[in-house]
A and B are shown apart, each in its own frame.
Chain A
Amino acid sequence: MHKIFLVIKHEIITTLQRRSFWIMTFLFPAIIIFFNLGTQVIANSSFNQEDVQGILAGTSATPETIAYVDEAGIINHLPPSMSATTLQRFASEDKARAALEAGDYEYFFLIPADYVASGNLIVITKDFRPLNTPNENLLSFVLAYNLTDDEQTAVALLDPTPNIQQQALAPQTGNDQNNSLTFFVPFATMFIFFFLISMSSGFMLQSVTREKENRTVEILLLSLRPRELMLGKVLGLSVVALLQMVVWMGGSLLALNRSQAAFSSVSSYTLPPGFVIWAFLFFALGYLLYASLMGAIGALAPNAREGGQFTFFVLLPLLIPLWLNITFVEAPHGTLATALSLFPLTAPTAMMTRLATGGVPTWQILVSLGGLAITTYIFVVVAARFFRADTLLSGSSLKARRFLTELRRPA
């Protein structure tokens, strides 16, 4: 027993002493958040489609003058509420091009003679950025206005449902469906759980292979049985993993709380009761499951490099919910999301995502947790079979077939 504690202590101390651990714990999430949020802000500020309704109502600023050439002869007049200087007509394409060359305009619209039939609206621009054409909506509106001669219809055609008041007759939780956090929080939970489990189980692989590579394991096995070594490593690294989880989850919850205090719009977001407890349970079991798998690979692989080739396949089940994240956003309680959250290998990420969305029936959580616990138990027992003196000391290379032969051998 004393020896296991020694292993636990050693694992905790060596992992915490590594600079890379602290970088991954603090710097990595910071970088991800910075790039995601930072670039989103930059992009959002440059994607600003003009608000036609606002311009007509006088609440939004009128854009700078828009140049156009009307070969179809559609635009005869502007809506009365629109400033006459909004549009500048050019008699021909050549004249408009001349103005473009002179630097008076950055771009101009060309309405071809067959506009009504073909629908082509041509933009000729110096700064070619096809997916972000300014004032496209405004010109569409002016065209529709001239075709219909009715301002209200023209606005409605542009977007018939600009503001829908949505109401659920049987709301799931107190969370506002229009709140951007309703989308963001489950998504973030999914990522946090994926990274936590994959990283902490990765430590297990590293720890086993490192000792194999530098042959420390040969000396260790003189005074300690292989299973004790495995147990000590799993438990020791679990402490480190929990620390990481406390930092990440605590940081996220704190950020959520703070942002709620700062912006009144986010105040309505509440995580379901007991979320932290469920998170802890799913994380602990998920960690044990994947750490024992990684440990098994570490025991069989001759070095970190060969072991690393298998990690992708081992972590694949955790990744699947990430790839299918659309389903979790669109239908968090649909068949697929439910199935993934009940299947033990995908449960840690899938169920936590659904829990963060809220409204998961308690029986599902319990079934999922029970299944996960049983599977984890089986995997730990199986992984322990791979932890034997002969596997730990052998340098033979890791092949898929070897898993089976090693598994079949008596313990």
Chain B
Amino acid sequence: MRNFWLLARHEYRKLVSKRSFLVGTLGFPLIIMMVMAAGIFIAIRGDQNTPIGYVDNAGLINTAVVPQTDEDETLLPLRPFPNETAARQALTDQEIQVYFVIPADYRRTLQLDAYYWQDDPSSTVVSDFNAYLRANLASDYPASIRTRLVEGPDLVVRSADGSREFNSRNIFSFFIPFIAAFFFIFVVMSSSGYLLQVVTDEKENRTVEIMITTVSPGQLIGGKALGLLAVSLTQVVIWVLAGVVAVFIGSFFIEALRFISVPWSLLLVVIFFFVPAYAFIAGIMTAIGSAVTELTQAQQIAGILNLLFLLPFFFTALFLANPNSPILVFLTLFPTTSFITVMMRWGMSTVPLWQLALSWLILVGSAMLSVWVAARIFHTGMLRYGQSLSLKEALTAVRSRS
């Protein structure tokens, strides 16, 4: 058992002290954040403040009516024109970015014409113009109901047993499981890359021959996998802490961030599912890594397998639309996808207990199987050089008694 810990500690120290670890941990999120910030900045700046023009043939818009907005929000200015010729002239002179023509029968048909110069009006233009129209449509009604008419209902969704509630304020909390799932995928991707090569280093410099005299193959793989797991977790913890600080600072500026609540029940799911899920993947990757000698070949096989783990992300839209659809129930039970699917459904829905239990049992079963198979294959392949195990050989290795 002591050897096991020694191995894990050695692997951890070796990787964490590398400069690439530091660069990856700090640099990678920094680059992504910078690019995203630039994108957001440009998206915000991209909308010029050029007014929206309109020609009102329905007598609908009263310039005195100003829509209510949040403090930090300003609508694009609105400019009336007596007729289309004047509006067209203003558009040609680039005084306005678009003009709408409201026909006399607008209230009956809700048809509008929009004229723009070259780039079609952005979503901001349409939503701002909608705000003006709503305010004017509601302006004839008493002040007490006006706000309600303009803003419409604010939906609060409650589960029948009262355990879950969704409203427009806690919307960010629903994306925490998505982010958690994303982190998990990161851990899987980064450590599976290493796990594939877990023995290549030792094989290349023949250390494995010496190590195997003191450590059993199971301990060797287990210790290395644990060390790698610790490395990935270190990285994730640093990022999560950074994220928490970012949210805390952001909450001073963005109101919605203040209502984020940590879904503690999710933590329970993570605790139960993470270890078997990681062991499952570690087993598969080590098995591939020890059966195949050439790294590029191993990476290709692993790449296809990674797709199996990523599968739930392809169905993100489905999670939002119908989190209890049969496809997602299947993904919940399927071992490669179960952990991420459970997390993502946790955010969007309530997962029935029987599905959780069954999925966990299947996952634990597959994890044990994969680790056992990996140890077998490693045992056979560990002292082979320059020759891959064929599928047949791998199968005999698994079947044979040791």
Contact = CB atoms under 8 A, between A and B. Distances in A.
B344 to A, nearest CB: 12
Q: Which of A46, A156, A323, A324 has the most CB of B within 10 A?
A: A156
B179 interface: no
Contact of B116 (A43, A118, A166, A210): A166
A47 to B, nearest CB: 5
Contact of B157 (A31, A123, A148, A171): A123
Contacts of A164: 100, 112-114, 126
Q: How large is the interface on B (under 10, 10 to 19, 20 to 34, 35 or more residues)?
A: 35 or more
Main secondary structure on chain B at its contact with chain A? Answer: helix
Nearest to B322: A46
A294 to B, nearest CB: 14
A409 B295 CA distance: 32
Nearest to A38: B314
Nearest to B40: A326
Interface residues of A, number: 79
Nearest to B347: A130
B72 interface: no
A255 interface: no
B130 A124 contact: no
Contact of A115 (B113, B148, B321): B148
Interface string B172-206: 00100000000000000000000001001000000
Interface string B303-316: 00001000000111
A213 B278 CA distance: 31
Contacts of B153: 115, 119-121, 136, 139-140, 143
Contacts of B350: 128
B39 interface: yes
A166 B120 contact: yes
B237 interface: no
Interface in A217-262: none
Contacts of A97: 160
Interface string A363-383: 000000000000000000000
26 contacts: A23-B300, A31-B307, A39-B314, A40-B317, A42-B315, A42-B318, A43-B320, A46-B318, A116-B144, A116-B148, A119-B152, A120-B154, A121-B156, A128-B159, A128-B348, A129-B349, A130-B348, A160-B130, A160-B137, A161-B133, A165-B113, A166-B116, A168-B116, A168-B120, A327-B43, A330-B122
Given A23-B300, A160-B137, A167-B113, 11 more contacts: A46-B325, A119-B151, A121-B153, A125-B158, A128-B164, A128-B166, A147-B141, A148-B138, A165-B113, A168-B116, A169-B92
Interface of B: 20, 31-32, 35-36, 38-39, 42-43, 46, 88, 91-92, 100, 107-108, 110-122, 126, 129-130, 133-134, 137-138, 141, 144-145, 147-160, 164, 166-167, 174, 197, 200, 295-297, 300, 307, 314-318, 320-325, 327, 348-350
Would you list the 6 A-B pairs with minimal beta carbon distance, nearest first? A43-B317, A130-B166, A121-B153, A160-B133, A46-B321, A128-B159
Interface of A: 20, 23, 31, 35-36, 39-40, 42-44, 46-47, 53, 97, 100, 115-133, 136, 139-140, 143-144, 147-148, 152-153, 155-172, 177, 206, 210, 303-305, 309, 316, 320, 323-324, 326-327, 330-331, 333-334, 336
